[in-house]
């Protein structure tokens, strides 16, 4: 038995109660979909069917938008900011109270390790509501421009990598600013959003302020195209983001898009090497690499490339890959068969293009969707694995000699979401941070998030910011002039 | 004694700090706007007054301008905010010294009387000074320290988005022009400006002010020509980061929705024209501006670093 083997420490799933089927949450109650093809959501770690979920049709989306409009005009836009804030404080507290239930449900539906759902997703989701609750009656002081007012009904479409956390990033600022929402969770991870409906019920949130419709791309498109939507907020792929930008061209709908990334994690030869290795592991293997801001390109200074390669692989051999419900698991299941196939395809491309593939060789469970932590070395900038988002536990290693070369390579991508810098030299950190065309720069750390810290990308990683004072700008109008 | 035959100016493009003709070799006739009673009637018994043959910019001219703007952008953005502020203030000084010419340009282009043209030029110069002063202030106003829940120094600051294509207003040929160009460049962006189609001459005079004001070549590039012909190439250009569609209002044959659609190919930041629905309306540029034209072309960068002993 290796010193890194642990006895199983499974989290109990008794705390969650999953219904066999779910309707749509519209106007404060669950209603049947008017048609559409119900679909199943599975536990990606076991392929067990968890529940059957409704597909919202165009008519259902229309009903949801009308419910949101009614709630907006009759209740939510007329309510004082202080009262809106109190509802958001209630939601934050309920999420804290039911954190364990939500964490377990998230892990079952998403496949992420329970320790991440428990220690990252849930605390941050509650914190987002708590933070924005306090803004609701202070918008006049947020430097948003004169007389900030809500936009109306907001359509929100969120991804499967951080289901509840993305819901909170979307709903909390929208409600704080006085908007009402129609939100669609991803088709592979709808359960925590549906459970959030129960949080709205417990908080006595007025009916129609939050509406949750489930479905896939067609449902999302129906939200985007609905004429009653004033603003769209989307997190997902750059390809879909561009489709949304095209769909709303020539209309007065506003949008914020938080899209893909291909972040460079830049390691200088004076970096604290063991911390840097931990930062690389956190950067790309956190949440199975299903992170838009993942550090999927390591740029390492040439003279320490060999040493880093050795230390990184030694560390990866100790990662525990497997049952997400085990409290010791580091890397859980890939979210879906489709995503697993995408990762396998990109890894095959990497090998075919001549990069050298290494993986940890760890055992994988027989059922479910799994991929071993994988490192490509000998990668050049033109390789697809250095250009395209893989969205899985796969990292490409490139080298550089000078800071200027590191900057040129880091910026050589249509994306611009995040970047990492590892060096002990303070002046170099600040110079690098200035040069990098990325919305979030982590220096001697990686993948840190906070509700008070604006997040979002440059270039084709999208536009708009979420979090902080900046995130409010997307949810108000100030009637800008001249 | 006969009147002196005056020396007339050739109006050309302004690209990369130089004044080239259109590579296409084309020009188009620019006429004075009708004045007074004729303007009110909407017709004139007299034939319109010929002003100039303006260069009719082409797709290639627009692309050359983008290349010049891209080349100039890193240096302009890296200049200190104080330096950018002084350079832009210098532009206002030169505009003031060319006041007589600007007044004449506005009178000719907009068909207004002397008093109104004087007021418009004053407002344009004052608007330029107002934006110049923002160069070393917007960063503090829009950025700041984020109180994150952990041992981290976390700071957000705005920075320029890059190369911005600007459709200058069709009617307000100087005040409107200044009001859309100054907020783009004050933060470190560089601009490719398509002038008012029918009223391009004040823009060329402004270019002469820029060229004599220490503004590095390529920071502002000015194309005269047919708006509907040139804008699609700017909207779809992959090396343009943002586009201001203000000048789509009242532009002949311009569909701003189509331009926004093309701009989505590389997710340009789009400033839509004024108005509601599909209608584009030119804003009232005499109103006091807010910061929205500045913020439309800024990115927010957030930097984290751990704290420790």
CA A251 to CA B258: how far, in whole Å?
A: 11
Is the pLDDT at A273 greater than 70? The verdict is yes
Provide Rg for chain B, Cα atoms: 20
The pLDDT > 90 percentage for chain A reads 97
pLDDT tens per residue across span B266-291:
999 999 999 999 999 999 999 999 99
Is the pLDDT at B49 greater than 50? The verdict is yes
Q: Taking residues A442-470, what's their average pLDDT?
A: 98
Q: Taking residues A295-315, what's their average pLDDT?
A: 98
pLDDT tens per residue across span A332-385:
999 999 999 999 999 999 999 999 999 999 999 999 999 999 999 999 999 999
Q: Residue B47: its pLDDT value, please?
A: 81
What's the Cα-to-Cα distance from B139 to each of A219, A282, B84, rounded to whole Å?
Answer: 40, 32, 13
Is the pLDDT at B43 greater than 70? The verdict is no
Averaged pLDDT of chain B:
96
Three-state secondary structure of A248-296: CCCCCCEEEEECCCCCEEEECCCCCHHHHHHHHHHHHHHHHHCCCCCCC
Q: Is residue A258 annotated as a catalytic residue, yes or no?
A: yes
Q: Where are the domains of chain B?
A: 27-31+58-306
pLDDT tens per residue across span A153-193:
999 999 999 999 999 999 999 999 999 999 999 999 999 99
Chain B residues within 8 A of A455 when measuring between CB atoms: 302
Q: Residue B36: its pLDDT value, please?
A: 67
pLDDT tens per residue across span B193-252:
999 999 999 999 999 999 999 999 999 999 999 999 999 999 999 999 999 999 999 999
CB A72 within 8 A of CB A207: no
Q: Where are the domains of chain A?
A: 21-259+460-477, 264-450
Q: Residue B35: its pLDDT value, please?
A: 81
Level-2 CATH architecture, domain A21-259+460-477: 3-Layer(aba) Sandwich (3.40)
CA B141 to CA B222: how far, in whole Å?
A: 30
Could you tell me how far CA A279 lies from the centroid of its own chain? 19
Is the pLDDT at A458 greater than 80? The verdict is yes
Is the CB of residue A145 less than 8 Å away from at least one CB of chain B? Answer: yes
Q: How many cross-chain Cβ pairs, A to B, lie less than 8 Å apart?
A: 132
How does DSSP classify residue A451? T
* CATH number listed for the domain at residues A264-450: 3.40.309.10
Averaged pLDDT of chain A:
97
CATH class assigned to B27-31+58-306: alpha beta
The interface predicted TM-score (ipTM) is 0.96
pLDDT band at A5 (very low <50, low <70, confident <90, very high): confident
**b or e along B179-188 (b: 16 or more beta carbons within 10 Å of the residue's beta carbon)?**
bbbbbbbbbb
Q: Residue A481: its pLDDT value, please?
A: 39
Is the pLDDT at A409 greater than 90? The verdict is yes
Is the pLDDT at B1 greater than 70? The verdict is no
Which of A143, A454, A482 lies at the smallest CB-CB distance from B156? A454
Is the CB of residue A143 less than 8 Å away from at least one CB of chain B? Answer: yes
Q: Residue A482: its pLDDT value, please?
A: 37
Q: Taking residues B52-62, what's their average pLDDT?
A: 98
Q: Taking residues B93-98, what's their average pLDDT?
A: 98
Name which of B151, B300, B308 to mutate to probe chain A: the one with the most chain A Cβ atoms within 10 A of its Cβ.
B300
pLDDT tens per residue across span A234-244:
999 999 999 99
């Amino acid at each position: 038995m290796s010193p890194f083997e642990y006895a199983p420490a499974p989290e109990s799933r008794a705390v969650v109660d999953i219904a066999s089927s779910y309707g749509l949450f519209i106007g404060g109650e669950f209603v049947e979909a008017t048609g559409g093809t119900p679909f199943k959501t599975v536990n990606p770690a076991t392929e067990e069917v968890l529940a059957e979920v409704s597909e919202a049709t165009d008519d259902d989306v229309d009903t949801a938008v009308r419910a949101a409009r009614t709630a907006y005009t009759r209740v939510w836009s007329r309510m004082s900011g202080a009262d809106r804030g109190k509802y958001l404080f209630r939601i934050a507290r309920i999420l804290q109270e039911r954190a364990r239930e939500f964490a377990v449900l998230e892990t079952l539906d998403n496949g992420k390790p329970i320790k991440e759902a428990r220690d990252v997703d849930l605390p941050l989701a509650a914190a987002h509501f708590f933070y924005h609750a306090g803004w609701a009656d202070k918008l006049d002081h947020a430097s948003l421009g004169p007389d900030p007012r809500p936009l109306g009904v907001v359509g929100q479409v969120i991804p499967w990598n951080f289901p509840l956390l993305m819901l909170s990033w979307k709903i909390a600022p929208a409600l704080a600013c006085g908007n009402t929402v129609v939100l669609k969770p991803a088709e592979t991870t709808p359960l925590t959003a549906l459970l959030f409906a129960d949080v709205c019920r417990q908080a006595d949130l007025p009916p129609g302020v939050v509406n949750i419709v489930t479905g896939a791309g067609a449902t999302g498109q129906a939200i985007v195209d609905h004429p009653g939507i004033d603003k769209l907020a989307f997190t997902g792929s750059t390809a879909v983001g561009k489709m949304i930008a095209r769909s709303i061209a020539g209309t007065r709908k506003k949008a914020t898009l938080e899209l893909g990334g291909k972040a460079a994690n830049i390691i200088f030869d004076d970096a604290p090497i063991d911390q840097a290795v931990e930062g690389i592991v956190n950067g790309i293997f956190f949440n199975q690499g299903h992170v838009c801001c993942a550090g999927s390109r390591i740029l390492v200074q040439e003279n320490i490339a060999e040493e880093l390669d050795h230390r990184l692989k030694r560390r990866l051999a100790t990662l525990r890959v497997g049952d997400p419900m085990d409290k010791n698991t580091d890397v859980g299941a890939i979210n879906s068969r489709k995503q697993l196939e995408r990762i396998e395809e990109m890894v095959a491309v990497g090998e075919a293009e001549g990069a050298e593939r290494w993986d940890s060789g760890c055992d994988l469970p027989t059922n479910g969707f799994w991929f071993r932590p994988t490192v490509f070395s000998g990668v050049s900038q033109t390789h697809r694995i250095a250009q395209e988002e893989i969205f899985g536990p796969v990292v490409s290693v490139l080298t550089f000699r000078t800071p200027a070369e590191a900057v040129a390579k880091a910026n050589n991508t249509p994306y611009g979401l995040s970047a990492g810098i590892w060096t002990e030299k303070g002046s170099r950190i600040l110079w690098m941070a200035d040069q990098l065309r990325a919305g979030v720069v982590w220096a001697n750390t990686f993948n840190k998030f906070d509700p008070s810290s604006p997040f979002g990308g440059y270039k084709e990683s999208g536009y708009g910011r979420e979090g902080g004072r900046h995130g409010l700008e997307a949810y108000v109008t100030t009637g800008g002039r001249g | 004694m006969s009147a002196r035959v005056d020396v007339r100016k050739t109006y050309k493009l302004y690209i990369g700090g130089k004044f080239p003709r259109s590579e296409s070799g084309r020009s188009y006739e620019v006429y004075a706007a009708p004045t007074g009673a004729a303007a009110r009637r909407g017709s004139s018994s007299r034939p319109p007054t010929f002003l100039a043959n303006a260069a009719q910019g082409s797709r290639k001219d627009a692309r050359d301008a983008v290349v010049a703007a891209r080349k100039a952008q890193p240096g302009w953005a890296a200049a200190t905010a104080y330096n950018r502020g002084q350079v832009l203030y210098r532009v206002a000084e030169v505009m003031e010294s060319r006041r007589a010419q600007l007044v004449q340009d506005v009178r000719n282009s907009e068909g207004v009387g002397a008093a109104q043209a004087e007021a418009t030029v004053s407002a344009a110069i004052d608007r330029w000074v107002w934006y110049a002063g923002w160069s070393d202030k917007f960063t503090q106003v829009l950025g700041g320290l984020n109180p994150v829940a952990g041992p981290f120094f976390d700071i957000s600051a705005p920075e320029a988005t890059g190369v911005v294509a600007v459709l200058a207003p069709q009617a307000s040929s100087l005040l409107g022009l200044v009001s859309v160009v100054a907020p783009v460049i004050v933060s470190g962006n560089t601009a490719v400006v398509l002038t008012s189609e029918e009223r391009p001459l004040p823009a060329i005079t402004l270019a002469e002010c820029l060229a004599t004001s220490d503004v590095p070549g390529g920071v502002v590039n000015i194309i005269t020509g047919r708006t509907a012909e040139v804008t699609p190439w700017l909207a779809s250009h992959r090396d343009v980061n943002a586009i201001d569609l203000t000048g789509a209002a009242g532009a002949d044959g311009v569909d701003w929705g189509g331009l926004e659609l093309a701009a989505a190919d590389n997710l340009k930041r789009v400033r839509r024209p004024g108005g509601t629905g599909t209608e584009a309306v030119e804003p009232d540029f005499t109103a006091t501006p807010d910061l929205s034209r500045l913020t439309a072309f800024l990115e927010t960068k957030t930097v984290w670093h751990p704290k420790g002993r």
